[in-house]
Structure 1
Amino acid sequence: MSYLLTPLLLIVFVIGLILAPTPIPLGVPLMALSVFLLIATNRHAARTVARLRKRFGWLNRAFCFIEDRAGPKIGRTLKRTRPRG
């Protein structure tokens, strides 16, 4: 199932990236949804996000902010990508 979902979620992310600078407020929510679902369904994507969080402090702080305020299921999924060490 992940093999079918991953390309679809990447396409949704790119669409969100294209819509982000436009006045239509769909870009950022689409990107956030696709990243969340990628983390939840794809182990490689979760490791990639963890590496990016370790490399970029601002990204890690943003994820920590969301983890603390999201519901328990979303927070638990995002906490899987916390950088180790």
Structure 2
Amino acid sequence: MEKFRAHIFIYGDVTGVGFRSWTKSKAEKLGVTGWVKNVSDSVEAVFEGEKEKIDQMIKLCHEGPEICWVEKVDAEWEEHKGEFERFEIISSC
């Protein structure tokens, strides 16, 4: 099955509310690999996997965990690189 990659930027009240842990949990359940990290006042992520599953992740990112408020989600499709074995939270330092 063909694999895809999306680079995601999530804006709104999304830092300090558990968005990264929530994203990791959702990605692991769907079998999506990649990473997520806080960047300034937003969250950035890369998802790799089947297109349908990445589409589900993007839809979930529009919703986010109950405690957050998502203003918008930007997604950029990129060439699949296959560089990840799992989904990780990257330190924002």
Q: TM-score, normalised by structure 2?
A: 0.27
Name the one with the larger strand percent.
Answer: 2
Larger Rg belongs to: 1
Q: Which has the higher contact order (CA 8 A, sep 6+)?
A: 2
Name the one with the larger helix percent.
Answer: 1
